[in-house]
């Protein structure tokens, strides 16, 4: 598992039982205690067959409503590219495997990336959490 993913989820999953339970029940609220999460990014946790999956779904085309990723970009021109990966959405869609590998994140071993065909669709990131801290 990529070190970066383990570190990212550590404040919730490698912490107290209460923080872990809060994150698994309400991942957006838990994350917002430490980092801002644009309103148009969907965050879910699913649990089935002893597996726990985290999913973040980011719109391919963002809207401009208050609190959205598009609104943040409009108000701060420095956020034209992802502030973490430093690439545009189009660049990411075309080269996500090599871009993530530059950060030591392997697709699909560490994260599963799926991209909706619809132009108005989402980019989905799925990470299996139960294997991170077992």
Of 83, 82, 65, nearest to 74 by C-alpha is 65
- Is there a domain that residue 118 lies in? yes
Of 32, 39, 36, nearest to 62 by C-alpha is 39
- Is there a domain that residue 78 lies in? yes
The percent of residues in the chain predicted with pLDDT above 90, rounded, is: 47
- Is there a domain that residue 133 lies in? no
- Is there a domain that residue 134 lies in? no
Cis peptide before 18 (omega within 30 of 0): no
Q: Say what the pLDDT of residue 71 is.
A: 52
H or E stretch including 128? strand 122-128
- Is there a domain that residue 59 lies in? yes
Query: How confident is the model over 14-29, as a mean pLDDT?
Result: 95
Residue range 124-133, pLDDT digits in tens: 999 999 988 7
Total domain count, the chain: 1
- Is there a domain that residue 121 lies in? yes
pLDDT of 119 above 50? yes
Query: How confident is the model over 76-96, as a mean pLDDT?
Result: 66
Residue range 36-56, pLDDT digits in tens: 888 888 999 999 989 999 999
User: Could you list the residue range(s) of the whole structural domain that residue 28 is in?
Assistant: 3-128
Going by pLDDT thresholds of 50, 70 and 90, the confidence category of residue 79 is very low
Phi first, then psi: give them for residue 100, nearest 5 degrees. Answer: -70, -35
Query: How confident is the model over 109-115, as a mean pLDDT?
Result: 94
More confident residue, 24 or 70: 24
- Is there a domain that residue 29 lies in? yes
């Amino acid at each position: 598992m990529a070190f970066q993913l383990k570190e990212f989820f550590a404040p919730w999953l490698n912490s107290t039982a209460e923080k872990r339970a809060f994150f698994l029940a309400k991942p957006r609220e838990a994350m917002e205690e430490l980092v801002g999460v644009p309103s148009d990014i969907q965050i879910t946790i699913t649990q089935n067959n002893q597996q726990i999956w985290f999913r973040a779904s980011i719109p391919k085309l963002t809207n401009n409503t208050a609190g959205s990723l598009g609104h943040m970009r409009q108000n701060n021109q420095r956020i034209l590219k992802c502030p973490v990966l430093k690439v545009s959405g189009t660049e990411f869609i075309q080269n996500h495997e090599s871009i993530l590998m530059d950060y030591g994140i392997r697709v699909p071993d560490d994260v599963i990336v799926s991209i909706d065909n619809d132009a108005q669709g989402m980019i989905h990131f799925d990470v299996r959490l139960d294997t991170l801290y077992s």
